Amino acid sequence: MPDQEFVSEGAESVVEFAIGGMTCAACSTRLEKVLNRQPGMQANVNLAAERARVRLQGAAVEAVIAAVAKAGFTAVPVDAGTREREKIAKQQAYRQELRHFWVALALTLPLVGQMVFMFGEGGHDNELPRWLQLALATPVQFWIGARFYDGAWKSLRGGGANMDVLVALGTSMAWIFSTVVTVFGLHEQHVYFEGAAAVITLVLLGKLLEARAKARTSAAIESLIRLRPKVARIERAGHWVDVPVDALMPGDVFLVRPGESVPVDGVVEEGDSSVDEAMLTGESMPVGKRTGDQVFAATSNGSGSLRCRATGVGEATLLAGIIRMVGEAQGSKAPVQRLADRISSIFVPAVCAIALLTFLLWWWLGGDFAAALVNSVAVLVIACPCALGLATPTAIMVGTGQGAQAGILVRNAEALERAEKITVLALDKTGTLTQGRPRLTDLFALVGDERQALRLAVALEQHSEHPLARAVLAAWQEQAGAAATGHELPAVSQFNAITGQGVEAWVDDQQFRLGAPDWLGQAEAPQVLALQGQGKTVIVLARIEAAGVVVPLAYLAVADTLRASSRAAVQRLQQRGIKVVMLTGDNAATAAVIAREAGIEDFRTGILPAGKAAAINALKTAGSVVAMVGDGINDAPALAAADVSFAIGAGSDAAIEAADLTLIRSDLMGVADAISLSAATLGKIRQNLFFAFIYNVVGIPLAALGYLNPVFAGAAMALSSVSVVTSSLMLRRWRPGQ
């Protein structure tokens, strides 16, 4: 996201900020409310990613930073170097907090250890002198625990309350009571220095464990960033020189040697090799590259050298786009999180009220001030809004990261949530179910052999740009690659293209035609009818004799064949209870053949682009959750109309921009994988939210009823957040095909 100092009146942009100082869900919820109350700002704050995405409409970046600061946090606009700076800062902060934890542990262990001896003979006679307990607990309370007081003050100053308020309030009550007992020599009263110190130490431990676990949730995007090459070998004045990748410009010629990574996106100008694109597509098999093929930044070259021309550099590479899209998806908010947000906004005040009520009832009914204090402290300490706040974003971060590694790019969390609910999947035929390019499937020579017939057909078609001509030429090139000799083409003269019919030319003083069967009088030929019945387009090669007599020499059949994985993908979708519908502009015969091969029963033919959108809307009116898969510009209206839309990665920019999810690999199986990923992610979110709710629903009443010591309550609170993040990390086990 570019640095942006000022947004002029009426302009609109989205700026991402790195947020510092958030400690729990109450913080992120409050900050989001603060920003959304500001004029010209629409914000989305993510606790797990520590990011805020703000849509600015006539507001300045400085206004966002000021509003965030007033709420008690820090904000820095994200740029290309932010992630690396954040990583270094977090590592330094982690090391400092780790040192604080070891100090806190050293001071707390004697306080907790004495409790073991107090259960033996002598009871309280075995406890440490109270002045020593005060000396040990005070640094933990006010030096190690300073972060909780700072966070609580900023939260209250901003008009809210967060987890720091609960920890600071609970431990302070225990420390103040114990200090009063110690100073005034009230020996009949027990002191709770060990409780206050242990809670702070355990919460700090929980924060350290949580930080480590959260760092792992962004492992996928970090691995993508690490793939970026640092150096490129480019051509300068006839010489090859090594330069930083950032110095490359579109149009520069670069060399990729065997075993090297491709530095930027480009087109092969010379060379023949295979490239491992697994980091982009999830496909383990290398992809052959030759002149005219595209190569992508950070993919790994095989054994051949490639001379390429740069087409996309810097933030314009496919890899940069993936990183950007994954980051945006990880920072977005799923609708299922709204319930947790609403609860988090009232959570801390409600817990404080319960703690106060617990204190009053225990003191009033039991007459025991110490018991009332301990139980109210336990209520404050065990309550944890963090688990609620982390339940959704951590799962989204891991899920979208896993998707990116499998070649599934999620535009936002809402799309990921909706994908699980799909009941009808509409898809285009050409380029989605099929390869997207016609190829020669059959050649029947009526005179001579097939090689000679193909050679003559290529000679006639070599100057044509028609898709059928390209299919014939591609078949010839495949043969030429397999055999180096005998593939020279004969010379042609008097070439003429007849629109809608075919081509004609003279070869070796003989006239030949190549074109539609009805033009050459072969429309009723049995072989032609048989091939057309298979959904193939037939062209006829013929020699024209004296007096215009047509002598057919060969029949060539061209078809856009089904992708190898399409039938299995359709079957997998149907097994999930999803109805698959094919929408195509092709004729009924061709569509019927492809539908039959793919295992699709419902297909609509002769549909124009606007008709596809209308078909999607008709399916939606029946109450279905409708998804659309497409790859072309003509699919964009239908993609925009669908509840969930998928774009094949090899498709047009218009289709990709209109889609909710993009499949880098041109394979329908990616749709099934995306739906599987959605189900796994949403299942994990529901599991996280269930345990977060249950933890608080069960834990707070137990503490209020006196069944939980503050030390155990602190340990449970610390572990609750860790358990939610760890649960989300289990999503890393998801694999395509599940």
Give the catalytic positions in this structure: 428
Say if residues 625 and 418 touch (Cβ distance below 8 Å): yes
C-beta neighbour count of 623 within 10 angstroms = 9
Could you give the C-alpha distances from 221 to 225, 240, 330, in angstroms and in order?
Answer: 6, 32, 10
Say if residues 226 and 209 touch (Cβ distance below 8 Å): no
- Cα separation, 568 vs 572, whole angstroms: 6
SS (HEC) of 583-631? ECCCCHHHHHHHHHHHCCCEEECCCCHHHHHHHHHHHHHCCCCEEEEEC
Say if residues 463 and 495 touch (Cβ distance below 8 Å): yes
Q: Which helix (H) or strand (E) holds 288?
A: strand 287-289
Contacts of 396 (CB under 8 A, 6+ apart): 48, 329, 330, 332, 334, 413, 416, 681, 685
Reported residue count of the chain is: 738
Say if residues 232 and 243 touch (Cβ distance below 8 Å): yes
3-state secondary structure of 555: strand
Q: Which DSSP symbol is given to 362?
A: I
C-beta neighbour count of 578 within 10 angstroms = 19
- Cα separation, 259 vs 261, whole angstroms: 7
CA nearest 229: which of 278, 255, 264, 275?
Answer: 264
Torsional sign, CA 413, 418, 420, 426: negative
Token pair of 293 as six digits: 């093929």
Contacts of 285 (CB under 8 A, 6+ apart): none
